[in-house]
Amino acid sequence: MGNQYAIATYDLTREFKTSIITNYYSSGIEHGGVFFYELWKKATAKKRIIHALYKLNVRVRKGSFTYLLGPNGSGKTTLLRILATFLLPTSGRAEVMGYDVVNERKRVLEVINYIPSLLAGSIWANLRLTVRRNLEIMAKLMGYERERVEEALKITGLKDIENNPVGALSTGQQARLVLALGVMREAPVFLLDEPTMGLSPEVVRTVQDYLIRLCREKKVTMFYSTHHLHEVERTADHVILLNRGRKIAEGSPRELTKIVGEVDTIKIRLNNVYFDLREFCSGARYSEINTLDREVGRYEIRLGVPDADSMLPHLVTRLVSRGARIERIEVSRPTLEDVFIYLVQGERVAKVQRN
């Protein structure tokens, strides 16, 4: 791997084997109960291999703020866990700062700071101890300076509740505690797996400002996983889009939005809809229908069209004639979310041309 890359993968693949049961079985006494059910299941279940990652090749430049985007199940967490050496690849290879994640695990652990999501990251905390005491214990175990505890409390907005027991914290406050432990450690590479999940917007902004400062001033590489595309616009140097374990596009936010071409995005929120909205999506470059409240027929449709000015009046007239009530209309330029919808719907793989 060249010296310019902090992270690189080569045909990285991770498989999971599972069994799928398609038939019905009554496990009552007349059929032998659980024992015979287990025999039946082993005999009839279909074996299936699921690719969490498939021949994935990514490159992350040193000192860059790179986002890993994709929906749930796209392989983001699997990739980060392999890079953090917690999960072995089925085949292929991955390197962090030039060290192989399998054969040089100890070296990799020395150069990374892995910050997981709240669900995976709060198990270390003692619920009976205060926020500050938990962080002080972890700092001592990890060999961090006490000043790092103070800084972490300020960055994550926990200073006001530092003397509260962890067991009394809300979900959002527990998420901040996970982040506080993460930011106490400094390393050349940060692997962040949806670290702002469950946080309020002001705390998200504070944490991201801190990460940006580390990246810009200390040249720390940030590899940041999220499925919230709105977090990306102001901070990303580079974006990698995953879907079903495969890379479908990469580039800067500006480069990626050019993929869909010269189009306008129309978003219409409406209610009293008791007909199929898919007929209104024909002819759009990309489209999405989100169900907000099925009982009252409340939906939001998103369309990518060549010219919103000419298409919008006709579209609204058709919707209203079918009984729909318009709540809100928004017209904008394509975002990363639109790019993702466009690529996934057409099962396209984008190659961004660089100058």
> 1, exposed or middle or buried, with CB in 10 Å at 0-12, 13-18, 19+?
middle
Which residues, 6+ apart, have CB-to-CB distance to 46 below 8 Å?
19, 20, 21, 22
Range in 5-19, 32-46, 279-293 the model is least confident about:
32-46
Residue 22 has pLDDT above 70, yes or no: no
Give the domain ranges of the chain. 52-251, 264-345
Beta bridge partners of 93: 10
Domain 52-251, classified CATH 3.40.50.620, yes or no: no
- What single-letter amino acid sits at 119? L
- Decide which of 172 and 73 is more confident: 73
Write out the two tokens for 294: 């099925």
Residue 354 has pLDDT above 50, yes or no: no
Percent helix, strand, coil in the chain, to 5, is 35, 30, 35
| Structure confidence by residue, pLDDT tens digits, 45-65 | 677 788 899 999 999 999 999
Residue 213 has pLDDT above 50, yes or no: yes
Could you tell me which of 238, 186, 240 has the C-alpha nearest to residue 213? 186
**CB neighbour burial string for 190-212, b if at least 16 within 10 angstroms, e if fewer:** bbbbbbbbbbeeebbebbbebbe
According to DSSP, residue 84 is labeled T
What mean pLDDT is predicted for residues 155-184?
86
**How far is C-alpha 141 from the geometric centre of its chain's CA atoms?**
30
Q: What is the pLDDT of residue 156?
A: 86
Cα–Cα separations (whole angstroms), residue 290 to 141, 142, 202, 339: 47, 46, 27, 17
Rounded Cα distance between 130 and 136, Å, is 10
Residue 251 has pLDDT above 70, yes or no: yes
Cα–Cα separations (whole angstroms), residue 177 to 185, 204, 231, 289: 14, 13, 20, 36
Confirm if 95 and 131 have CB atoms less than 8 A apart.
Answer: no
What mean pLDDT is predicted for residues 175-185?
84
**CB neighbour burial string for 48-66, b if at least 16 within 10 angstroms, e if fewer:** eeebbbbebebbbebbbbb
Residue 1 has pLDDT above 80, yes or no: no
What is the fold of 264-345? Alpha-Beta Plaits (3.30.70)
Residue 355 has pLDDT above 80, yes or no: no
Which of left, alpha, beta for 117 (phi over 0: left; psi -120 to 50: alpha)?
Answer: beta
Could you tell me which of 329, 325, 347 has the C-alpha nearest to residue 265? 329
Confirm if 285 and 305 have CB atoms less than 8 A apart.
Answer: yes
**How far is C-alpha 88 from the geometric centre of its chain's CA atoms?**
20
- What single-letter amino acid sits at 154? K
